[in-house]
Structure 1
């Protein structure tokens, strides 16, 4: 992740936060804005202003059509895309949202004013709640725009029909818009808002599209303007010259060659470093193929979200067995249900949590809903027996050795052979030795670890500089955990997306991390970087980063020690 600059770069280059490493050149296709309709605009049918009854029917039908359309898109998608679309469909189906709009319509309020008033009330509530709910405001307003358009018979807002390969540019891009993209004609995504861990960036990563978010001025770029989008540098350059185009083409050829290498991860002197993939569904596991040595993070909450009741033991066991079979004997690390906070469940919602990111989430659900974990562990044990494969099973949001001990005892009682925990809470990193005494392995979730170490909501794009995995305090916590792993002789992995940065991958290896897990598209660059450096050189790179005072200085110091050919090939 590249940090945004305060000032617009010289020469007309726009600066933002890059997601991914690819670089492309293509024409701008601006996303169609929401309909500009006054709040007091009436619904006109056959040349006459409709009464409350007809308005009621039109609004109700619009909500239903929008929800149905989103569900249809979700059914045709997979992985994170399907999950996000299903969540947005549920929002369009929300009974409270719809009923409050209809109540105001029945009282004689114009439809646009009624929809706007209720949506903005909900948006304010979401923003005050922070965390995942604050990020959902974009989705909520996307639902609003679609419902208004459908009610008034206007064209749906969103991505235009593309007649050529284009760079899609928007002030902000709703997940429904992202998921509806014609991938054969989308070169990259650029937005003015959002953040590197927001929905647009996550989906773009899953789709393999270069993405730059938080680009001031992007929405002012005229349609058709040719731009050079560099995700590695986080830049958008209008009207690039031939030199830029040639440099991008050389990078494309070099990076395409890297993807052909599927050898096991290792340093130049033979120190093994397992290179694994993050997935959300069994279908994702099928698509990973030979690029990864296994699955380093299977996010099982995708099986639970958007349901009114928890999936049964049988349903879960079938999904887990499918992933184990797809892995075909390779390592599979399964994270137990990481719900609450940014992933609320209809059947296990915690009422009136003022700060859900610090509340009952992840493993802490065992305090109020122990049956969720017990059922999941039973299903994992059943999948283990059915396939003959042994999953590594870990719990999220562990804060103390006592919690680690309790989880390990529950897992082993259920028949799970290998039990570990996530290190996402600074307390767990500081006492990693005590926690590792209770479990078989740990895996660092660097996104949440940065959030909690820096007291910064990971979904607030404007605070991306504080959430940078290069922050010295975050690196100190990672180093402490790795030292504990070395002292106990137990594996320490990283499954946060920081591992997708090839320079950070070298730092993590130098600190003693034994496996790196990331989006599949990021694996070739990480493999190439690790294989071009000895373990001793990785140690030197890590030491340089740890000695730095700021995130920017840490990355610069580490990058300066990277092999020059690697820097050139990966545009570091």
Structure 2
């Protein structure tokens, strides 16, 4: 029997499953005996203790986990939530129940907002559970322990759970909920843990059941044969050997260069990426400078961070994305107005254009950092829809001193108009996460439509081909910086569709490097030509797999 979901990375895990413990039961309202002051103080102590735990765990984990856990700590101490809890306690509700009700109410609001805000509802639930557990004096539900290695199965995983994984025991992750860009997926990918999310029926399996979790295909093979197990273990060994091989630049079997770049969210991540063989940066997310700020950071504050980043890559390409924020990632100084459908609202370049001084300051800071360092700086705008928006951003960037200015292809309209866009843009970088979301009309954070969120879908591949063809005809570079580039076999197909560089989480570099080395450019183009004839994502994956 096979179960199916969305695979994260190209790893394979073989072993027994153990399911995550159920959450704490919903607390009853036992009141607080009339002493609201003491109860509020008790809750305040629990909140601070949980926030401190998140921060400490983040410092220990580092990388992407640190950022996610720092966000969880901020959730725990959010003034709006604390005020709600306090008001409930002042009205006579006991601390545990007040925390439960306040957090549950806010979770419903986030879910209703959709997009990234809905994704944060799971994290908020984990914060609530940990505060309640602290108030009860019990351990919060978490990763089960076992003397033997196991594959962890859960409804979903909170950031704190994923960051606490004992990689000597946890072979892989399988969740019923979540999508390929959920925190579970992001953290699993950054730690090179095979994971499959959005797997319907996985919670019906019994602890101890032997499975093969194949992230490359998104398949869970239940009770596999000895032959299937032996084949999976060989694949695991081959993957480990590829990771241990000497690091070389990305190239196809015929010597065609395909630079392999890293997706980074902070200058502090640069050293680890270089150690894993990153030849530069294909996507530097600048949101970390803005998301926790009350006002827009100054030009000097931004420049210092950009200089720190660029100094790590002398003579190398570094592609920086202008601030990608808006209604789904609200900033009080940019746009925090409620929108019914934030994924289709004032976000990305649209939000920056409406507050142009913020955009100007960022581009000025980047130009100044470029002048002080030796990296090859490329700057791109997020969420660009057409040639008019392209012309606006490229002209502004050049006016402010930038040399190489391009756009991200995340909206299907840009792919359709790619031949017009490349007349102005110096390059195009394809963000496959959003491109897939908008092409298939499937919110990338919702597990209920996770099966649509598959960049192998032939509709997505055909849009990539339009961009690749435009790039080839104009001689303009076309990169891919979405998570699709971290899928080794899909990476080959993307090259065949016209991608000239690939950027990914650093943990995926070894797998992709090894896979590219198996094919010539003509073979990659043949696989791509076959894949786009598929009728479904699964069909395209099979046609483009080279098997």
Structure-2-length-normalised TM-score: 0.93
Greater Cα offset, 84-93 or 71-80: 71-80
In structure 2, how many angstroms separate the alpha carbons of the residues matched to 1:358 and 1:326? 36
Distance verdict in 2 for CA 1:435–1:464, change over 3 Å: same
SS at match of 2:452: coil
Correspondence for 1:266: 251
SS in 1 for 2:544: helix
Structure 1 position 62, deviation (Å): 1.9
Aligned with 2:342 (options 356, 360, 366) = 356
* Secondary structure of 1:169's aligned partner: strand
Go from structure 1 to structure 2 and tell me whether the alpha carbon gap of 1:545 and 1:411 turns closer, same or farther (over 3 Å shift). Answer: same
Q: CA deviation at 1:112?
A: 3.2
Bigger drift between 438-447 and 453-462 goes to: 453-462
Confirm whether residue 302 of structure 1 aligns to residue 288 of structure 2.
Answer: yes
Task: Give yes or no for contact 1:30–1:223 (8 Å, CA) kept in 2.
Answer: yes
1:326 deviates by: 1.9
2:180 to 162, 185, 196: 196
Partner of 2:388: 402
Partners of 2:420 and 2:220 in 1: CA distance: 47
Indicate the residue corresponding to 2:271 in structure 1: 286
Contact 1:390 1:417 in 2 (8 A): no
Cα distance, 1:457 vs structure 2: 0.8
Q: Does the residue aligned with 1:149 lie in a helix, a strand or coil? A: helix
Matched, 1:60 2:49: no
**Bigger CA drift: 202-211 or 310-319?**
310-319
Residue 547 of structure 1 aligns to a residue whose secondary structure is: coil
Distance in 1 between the 2:16 and 2:35 partners? Answer: 45
- Structure 2 residue 543 is the aligned partner of structure 1 residue 557: yes
Q: CA deviation at 1:321?
A: 2.1
| Selected match of 2:473 from 468, 483, 487 | 487
Is 222-231 or 123-132 further displaced after alignment? 222-231
- Say if 1:255 and 1:305 are closer, same or farther in 2 by CA, change over 3 A: same
**Superposition map of 1:405-484 within 5 A:** 405-484=391-470
Deviation per residue, 1:458-515 (Å, 9 max, x gap): 1112212222112222122111111111121111111111122233222222222111
Any unmatched runs of 5+ in structure 2? Answer: none
The residue correspondences of 1:99-138 to structure 2 (distance < 5 A) are: 99-138=83-122
Corresponding residue for 2:512?
526
CA offset at residue 228 of structure 1?
3.8
In 2, Cα distance between equivalents of 1:324 and 1:236: 42
Deviation, 1:346, is: 4.0
2:140 to 142, 156, 160: 156
Deviations 1:183-210 (A, max 9, x none): 4443222222212211101111011111
Which aligned pairs between 1:16-415 and structure 2 lie closer than 5 A? 16-42=5-31, 51-160=35-144, 165-219=149-203, 227-236=211-220, 242-259=226-243, 260-288=245-273, 289=275, 291-415=277-401
Measure the CA separation in 2 of the matches of 1:224 and 1:292: 39
Which range moved further: 227-236 or 101-110? 227-236
Query: Following superposition, which runs of at least 4 residues in structure 1 exceed 6 angstroms of deviation?
Result: none
- Rounded to whole Å, the distance in 2 between the matches of 1:180 and 1:189 is 13
Find the residue that maps to 1:367 and give its secondary structure: helix
SS of residue in 2 equivalent to 1:291: coil
Q: Counterpart in 2 of 1:568? A: none
Contact 2:327–2:337 under 8 Å retained in 1: no
Per-residue deviation, 1:528: 2.7
What SS does structure 2 have at the residue aligned with 1:135? helix
Q: 1:504 aligns with which of 470, 490, 496?
A: 490
1:78-120, Cα deviation, whole Å (9 max, x unpaired): 3322222122222111111111121111111233332232222
The 8 Å contact of residues 404 and 435 in structure 1, kept in 2 or not, is answered as: yes
Q: Which residue of 2 aligns with 1:46?
A: none
- Taking the aligned partners of 1:381 and 1:293, their CA distance within structure 2 comes to 22
Matched residue SS, 2:100? helix
The count of residues paired between Structure 1 and Structure 2 equals 545
The answer to whether the Cα contact below 8 Å between 1:83 and 1:305 also exists between their aligned partners in 2 is: no
Question: Which stretch of the first structure deviates more once superposed, 284-293 or 483-492?
Answer: 284-293
The question of whether the paired residues in 1 share the 8 Å contact of 2:213 and 2:220 is answered with yes
Moved more, 123-132 or 28-37: 28-37
175-184 vs 503-512, greater mean Cα deviation: 175-184
Contact 2:311 2:374 (C-alpha < 8 Å) held by counterparts = no
Q: Indicate if the aligned counterparts of 2:486 and 2:512 stay in contact, CA closer than 8 A.
A: yes
Residue 35 of structure 1 deviates from its aligned partner by 2.0
Range 512-521 or range 68-77, more displaced:
68-77
**203-212 or 302-311, larger mean C-alpha shift:** 302-311
* Runs of at least 5 residues in structure 1 that lack an aligned partner in the other structure: 1-9, 44-48, 565-572
C-alpha deviation, 1:317, in angstroms: 2.1
Contact map agreement 2:26 2:100 (CA 8 A) in 1: no
In the TM superposition, what is the alpha-carbon distance from 1:553 to its structure 2 partner?
1.9
The answer on whether the counterparts of 1:90 and 1:306 sit within 8 Å (CA) in structure 2 is no
Following TM superposition, by how much is the alpha carbon of 1:523 offset from its aligned partner in structure 2, in angstroms?
A: 2.4
CA 1:68 to 1:485, structure 2 compared with 1: closer, same or farther past 3 Å?
A: same
Matched residues in 1 for 2:466 and 2:428: separation? 12
Q: Aligned residue for 1:7?
A: none
RMSD: 2.4
Q: Secondary structure at the match of 1:254?
A: helix
Distance 2:147 2:361 in 1: 49
Secondary structure, counterpart of 2:311 in structure 1:
helix
**Alignment check: 8 A CA contact 2:157 2:175 kept:** yes
Going from structure 1 to structure 2, the CA distance change for 1:310 and 1:368 (only over 3 Å counts) comes to same
CA contact (8 A) 1:329 1:389 kept: yes
